[in-house]
Amino acid sequence: MPEVLTHVISAELRERFASAKNVLVLTGAGVSAESGVPTFRGGGKTAVWKGMPFDVVSSATMVKRDLPAVWEWFDYRRKLLQPLQPNPAHLEIARWQERFEQCTVFTQNIDGLHQKAGSRDMIELHGSIWRARCLTCHAQFEILPDEVRDDTCVDCGDRLRPDVVLFGEMLPPGAFELAADRATEGELCFVVGTSAIVYPAAGLPEIARAAGAYVCEVNPERTPLSGICDEVLTGKAGEILPLLAGV
Ligand code: APR
């Protein structure tokens, strides 16, 4: 662990971390970057698939227009993800769920790496790439690695789509309400690896702060949320979060 980083954690954050009982963590693609998962933005670029910006291929419009193309993009992402392992940031967050009386992890990530690291009762704000859902009866089906994915719902026979929140779609029913509720209860809120431009997820730290939480951002770059944070830790999540292990 790069010793040079130890000073980035303020005495205030150490104190609050040491005494906290209820901790919130909002994560985005950046928390998985050190595992090899490409982020969508950051570094001034956005992901493109077969000439289409990712927010075009992964959209509600595309499901209606060309569902096979949508599956092709998610099948490609799933293949990318399959061999990847959680990094020290995922592992540290999973440890926090054992350490604190309550530690709620809201993730925008669909990659399943938090769960692979041992995190439980995740609030998956944007669904999961490891699930499919029926277009008609909304039955959900797990997609197992190395298994041929079904295209059809065994319950009602209609087609399956990725169980992921696509552009132009609402979050899963109840997910944001539950998250917003939890966000009012936290003493400490970490915002890790998100560009904080996609709402309503990016609104959760604001709810937490309005309810009195100390908000700490971890990101190599500033985001629109940096200005409302009590503390900004500039750097990689996999290098910074483990610094709290000894607190
Ligand atoms: N550690 C911490 N943060 C990092 C790291 C790292 N190692 N590497 C990159 N980042 C930061 C980037 O600086 C950027 O601010 O992670 C952020 C990633 O931003 P996005 O790619 O926009 O991802 P995210 O915020 O999760 O996007 C939100 O948008 O595309 C949709 O549904 C998709 O859930 C996604 C949502």
Query: In this predicted model, what pLDDT tens digit does every residue of 55-67 receive, in sequence order?
Result: 888 999 999 999 9
223 Cβ below 6 A of ligand 1: yes
Nearest CA-CA partner of 244 in 86, 22, 30, 93: 93
225 Cβ below 6 A of ligand 1: no
Query: In this predicted model, what pLDDT tens digit does every residue of 89-126 receive, in sequence order?
Result: 999 999 999 999 999 999 999 999 999 999 998 999 99
If phi > 0 it is left, if psi is from -120 to 50 it is alpha, else beta; for residue 127 that is left
Interior/surface letters 2-25, b for 16+ CB within 10 angstroms, e for the rest: eeeeeebbeeebeebbeebebbbb
226 Cβ below 6 A of ligand 1: no
Q: For residue 47, what pLDDT is reported?
A: 62
126 Cβ below 6 A of ligand 1: yes
Whether the bond between 200 and the residue before it is cis, its omega within 30 degrees of 0, is yes
Q: Token pair 């399959």 is at which residue?
A: 82
Q: Which residue has the higher pLDDT, 81 or 47?
A: 81
Where is average pLDDT lowest: 26-30, 42-46, 224-228? 42-46
Position 200 pLDDT exceeds 70? yes
Whether 126 is catalytic is yes
Q: Which of 219, 233, 240 to mutate to test the pocket of ligand 1 (most atoms within 8 A of CB)?
A: 219
pTM comes to 0.93
* Distance between Cα 42 and ligand 1 center (Å): 6
What is the pLDDT averaged over residues 187-198? 97
